[in-house]
Amino acid sequence: MTQSVRVLFVCLGNICRSPTAEGVFRKLVMEEGLVTHIEIDSAGTHAYHVGAPPDERAQAAARRRGIDLSGLRGRQALRDDIERFDYVLAMDRENHANLLAICPEGLEEKIRLFLEYAPHRTEREVPDPYFGGSAGFDRVLDMVEEAARGLLADIRRTRLSHF
Ligand code: 4NP
């Protein structure tokens, strides 16, 4: 069967938060046996780090939780991505606004804040850890792990109810 649901995680640089979300969500989807049904990718609203691997601190924090981000490479989010992906999930409001600015008319509903899927948290934005210390990367992982579980539950309920 072809992959029926496509999920894109988006932050600013595509080297810290969105590759972390990609790795966390992929691990969860693999554990649940749904890899053939869900396509997962990440991108940045800016092109600063196109072609670069995830930040070393993001890789180290993810590795401590059994997640390997080393094969990922930065790329920029494009207008076509919003056509192609079903869920376009922004890490913060600035990313959300930047995505809306390139969104084809009528597809705005696809663009959401990722933390909408972590309704028990009070925060709605995953803070940018780039200019801080390593604790910020662990905090990103905590938030992203919770939202990833909520997202998968939503996908199961709305798109994969026969699995
Ligand atoms: P990200 O973090 O958006 O989570 O990948 C950042 C990475 C790089 C920069 C800012 C945020 N930067 O200014 O280069």
Cα separation, 135 vs 129, in Å, equals: 9
What's the CA-to-centroid distance between 156 and ligand 1, angstroms?
Answer: 31
pLDDT at 57: 98
What's the CA-to-centroid distance between 147 and ligand 1, angstroms?
Answer: 20
Cβ within 8 Å of residue 146, ≥6 positions away: 118, 120, 121
pLDDT in tens, 106-126: 999 999 999 999 999 999 999
Q: Report residue 58 CA to chain centroid gap.
A: 14
Confidence tier at 1 by pLDDT (50, 70, 90):
very low
Q: What is the DSSP string of 88-137?
A: EEESSHHHHHHHHHTPPTT-GGGEEEGGGG-TTSS--S----TTS-HHHH
- 126 CA: nearest ligand 1 atom: 4
Phi, psi of 87 (to 5 degrees): -120, 125
From residue 18, how far is each of 33, 114, 126, 158, 161 by CA, in Å? 22, 10, 10, 23, 27
Tell me the one-letter amino acid at 145. Answer: E
pLDDT at 2: 54
What's the CA-to-centroid distance between 103 and ligand 1, angstroms?
Answer: 21
Q: Quick check: CB of 40 below 6 Å from ligand 1?
A: no
pLDDT reading at 144 higher than 60: yes
Phi, psi of 7 (to 5 degrees): -125, 125
| DSSP annotation of 65 | T
Q: What percent of the chain has pLDDT over 70?
A: 97
Cα separation, 59 vs 55, in Å, equals: 6
pLDDT at 161: 78
Point out the residues that are catalytic: 11, 17, 128
What's the CA-to-centroid distance between 74 and ligand 1, angstroms?
Answer: 11
Q: Quick check: CB of 20 below 6 Å from ligand 1?
A: no
Instruction: Give, using CA atoms, the residue closest to atom 8 of ligand 1.
Output: 13
From residue 94, how far is each of 6, 29, 32, 130, 148 by CA, in Å? 22, 27, 32, 15, 20
Instruction: Give, using CA atoms, the residue closest to atom 6 of ligand 1.
Output: 13
Cα separation, 141 vs 1, in Å, equals: 31
Q: CATH number for the 5-158 domain, one of 1.10.10.10, 3.30.479.30, 3.40.50.2300, 3.40.640.10?
A: 3.40.50.2300
